[in-house]
A and B are shown apart, each in its own frame.
Chain A
């Protein structure tokens, strides 16, 4: 016999605005290795077919199932009920547009973010289809891949106190994405260009270093370290012309092994 789990789930459908948002209770017997993905599907199949939530890969790869689990953002498919108390409260991620119950629209947010930070390689080199691809050092490729693993689940944004208070804050995932282009030798953007993108209070200077983003990221991206590297680079760039170059270079040493 498993535990008797009590789920309290946020319910609201923006298409029926006269029905007030509420928390509805469901009970379920726990099975071995039950994840929230399994639990929510059981509730929808057997108790309430109107419950809305997103899933796709159920393996922590697609990033659709981000939600607030007992107050902390996380992936539902990655969370086993045995790691949670008997009482489980589920809310949709804040900040993003609510589509209904536990579903939010992270797609539009991430597309706007990608447009704003110009999330693509900036190079003057013309593409030569017939020439073999340029080789990249393996360690560097791994380093870039490490930052490229973001699945756009939005957990870091939902956990960020700044994003909750300031709607135009860009989020840790965006700064991590820029850090990825910063270390990519194919991207020719300079610190001055990065400064133009994130050198204000909607960007890196808005981040208050609360670090919840780093602690909740289900893919364990090194958000704290990347925020630090980018903040230092952009801050030093902001005092170009005030602080002499040799001091700025001394302060730079970001450990990313790249020319900054």
Chain B
């Protein structure tokens, strides 16, 4: 341990903003995927929800805010990412030796983050420049090549959100050591449900007449 390189006295609220932005994004994703999943029941229902959100301008306002929030979240969380020369190598070698599930989970978090950062921008851009949002429009997009994008983007978002929530609970002492295995199992099950819902929704739109 060497002396701190941090300026003394400067209040660092970065961790607070990191969880706050992460938690808001996680909440958004959980709601977004469920609303999107309504297509499994009926495409009409989804169109109705989309119309409601657009007519009330919620979609138009939320979209740019979310992009900004993602950028903000990335800007804060990136200070933890192994960018500096050699750090990633050290960390991967360390994880291999250690065989620790939680150490690996963090690497998953970092890799999915990069995919989401790039993907979220394209995703929001294509959807919001092609209003109104309709299931038929989504089907056209999927068939014009976006299916592959979603097949990668969806699991990444779900993994990052699920692991993020688990890690948040663990890091802030909400999930104690005694509860850790149970919480982790629960998170995997919830992630599985979301993945199933997402996959069903995508295939429903794909096979839309």
Contact = CB atoms under 8 A, between A and B. Distances in A.
Interface of A: 68, 71-72, 109, 112-113, 116, 159, 161, 164-165, 167-171, 174, 196, 199-205, 207-212, 214-215, 222, 224-225, 227-229, 231-232, 235, 238-239, 242, 254-255
A254 to B, nearest CB: 7
A209 B103 CA distance: 8
Interface residues of B, number: 43
Interface in B25-73: none
25 contacts: A68-B97, A71-B98, A72-B98, A116-B1, A165-B91, A167-B2, A168-B2, A169-B1, A171-B1, A200-B10, A201-B14, A205-B12, A208-B106, A210-B102, A211-B170, A211-B180, A212-B100, A212-B102, A212-B103, A228-B173, A231-B173, A232-B173, A235-B19, A238-B12, A238-B15
Contact of B13 (A169, A174, A207, A239): A239
A171 B2 CA distance: 12
A68 to B, nearest CB: 7
B140 interface: no
Contacts of B174: 228
Contacts of B82: 165
Contacts of B19: 235
B172 A228 contact: yes
B1 A71 contact: no
B5 interface: yes
B1 A167 contact: yes
B70 to A, nearest CB: 20
B207 interface: no
Contacts of B3: 116, 168
B182 interface: no
B141 interface: no
A232 B172 contact: yes
Contact of A159 (B16, B98, B171, B175): B98
Interface in B151-201: 167, 170-177, 180
Given A165-B91, A227-B171, A254-B173, A238 B13 contact: yes
Nearest to A212: B100
Given A72-B99, A235-B16, A164 B173 contact: no
Nearest to A168: B2
A199 B134 CA distance: 48
Contacts of B180: 211, 224
Contact of A235 (B1, B98, B170, B172): B172
Contacts of B13: 238-239, 242
